[in-house]
Amino acid sequence: MRVLGIEGTAWCASAAVYDTETDSVFIESDAYEPDSGGIHPREAAEHMTEAIPEVVDVALGYAETQYGPDSIDAVAFSRGPGLGPCLRTVGTAARSLAGALDVPLVGVNHMVAHLEIGRHQSGFDNPVCLNASGANAHLLGFHDGRYRVLGETMDTGVGNAIDKFTRHVGWTHPGGPKVEEAAKDGEFVDLPYVVKGMDFSFAGIASAANDEYDQGTPVEDICFGLQEHVFAMLTEVSERALSLTGADELVLGGGVGQNDRLREMLETMCEARGADFYAPEPRFLRDNAGMIAVLGAKMAAAGDTLPIPDSAVDPNFRPDQVPVTWREGEASVARGLAAGETNDLRGAEALVEIIDGEYVRKQRVEKAYRHPELDRTLRRDRTVLEARLTSQARRAGVPTPLVHDVDVADAALTLQYVGDVDLAEEPTEARVRAVGEHLARIHGAGFVHGDPTTRNVRIVEDASPDEVAASTYLIDFGLGYHTGHVEDHSMDLHVFEGSIAGTTTDPEPLISAFEAGYRGEGDEAVIERLRTIERRGRYQ
């Protein structure tokens, strides 16, 4: 099969020809380069109108020369997410070509294509995928017929956050390569570092970088600090996703993935964890039609094509809305959990030693991928917070381990050993209801857990119905903090429900039970704000 792919979500007009027999991809691209500032939607649309016919002509010419006339078997196009005017130009071209060539039409989700090209080229079975591009930043994993969101940006995409700083400085788009080059001569600058479970935020760091520049901090130092913080955040949440699912494969997608420092961090983390890492070659990381054609071929082979009347583009096309027809019957990314293969002794941050079946010594290990100064600060602060908030939660009536000792110098805690297994291994409605009740109580006490996933809840397996709540323990408060804001409380719920949706076979009853537990003890306004968070679709 030979598929013509067309990409045009925002700034890059691209066409490609993919031959499934030889697994070869020809790509012709024409990127829009604004004279100043970032991408201007009107100018990008005008560029797309002019460039799409040209790149398609080149790709069709290649196909005819290489394979002869009538060699295209399907037309695939980027259906979304992206800028509406650009997407409509691409959609119109794709529909016209499919009709003229009398071949099937395939609508491809741009972000899923970023994931699939890495999975395709790496040969990995079922990886976690980190997508890091201009308008997006999220972690995806295949589960229960779709790519589930394991973690996401809560405000802006990673590339856009960097570009906000470079526009402030006066540098032209794209800003990422300029930051990477300047950072080579920089020194560490402390900036905000915001991780919430496997979600993260970049708005604060972009504003702080601008403030540093206005205060006279050398731009090279800001660039260095910006990279060290932003990419460490992405690497940390990637490790958290590997820990949550039990997966041991990670692929990188998106244009920001071309950054050498980001790839170095991810590779270092995976090597330390015993996981495999793969980053596609640069032409498949930046926006390109090659990945559209490759995924289009998989979808066409699965019969996942579009009638012309149903082929409208969708600027807000989320990856978790896509039925993954081409992977029907394949195992979940959380296969390690399903097989009971979780390793209680190694989480995303710490090594755990069980002492005489009564105590646990938990030590936050140094992360070689992080800058030493940032790493020391995070390990120290999180150790202190975990000890303090674990005790405060217990005083609020929430089952938590007793804290026996705090060793700040070694970033280590000695805690009571609680439970038999993680909730991730045996989730039930009664247990998740108890988690909802527990979170409501700590919110009422004025703080959040920060990372309430199913791996951070310990359970007693044979507890009677009357004992379930008392034998469902919250652990690992290291990302918690004091707050009375309803948004922060809702984020705790968002993180927990994301871990349920990403790892369980039938998440809806569990999520309903969890929210019922929260309602019974907490503020209904938190649930209402949770609905708002879910509707925002702050990344696409």
| Residues identified as active-site | 451
What type of residue is 462? D
159 contacts: CB under 8 Å, gap ≥ 6: 132, 133, 134, 135, 174, 176, 254, 255, 256
- How many other C-beta atoms lie within 10 A of the C-beta of residue 526? 22
Rounded CA gap, 333 and 329, in Å? 12
CB-based contact 478:382 (threshold 8 Å): yes
CB-based contact 445:393 (threshold 8 Å): yes
Rounded CA gap, 365 and 388, in Å? 20
What are the Cα distances from residue 10, in Å, to 45, 90, 157, 206, 529? Answer: 8, 11, 14, 22, 31
Tell me, letter by letter, the H, E, C secondary structure of 61-75: HHHHHHHCCCCCCEE
CB-based contact 178:226 (threshold 8 Å): no
Pairing of strands 457-459, 421-422: antiparallel
Rounded CA gap, 476 and 483, in Å? 18
- Tokens 């601008």, residue? 210
Rounded CA gap, 386 and 384, in Å? 5
Q: What are phi and psi of 205, to 5 degrees?
A: -70, -35
Residue 278 is inside which H or E element, if any? strand 276-278
CB-based contact 166:178 (threshold 8 Å): yes
Q: Which residues pair with 276 in a beta bridge?
A: 249
Max intra-chain CA distance, the chain: 76
Within 396-522, where are the H helices?
Answer: 429-444, 486-501, 507-521
- Tokens 């741009």, residue? 110
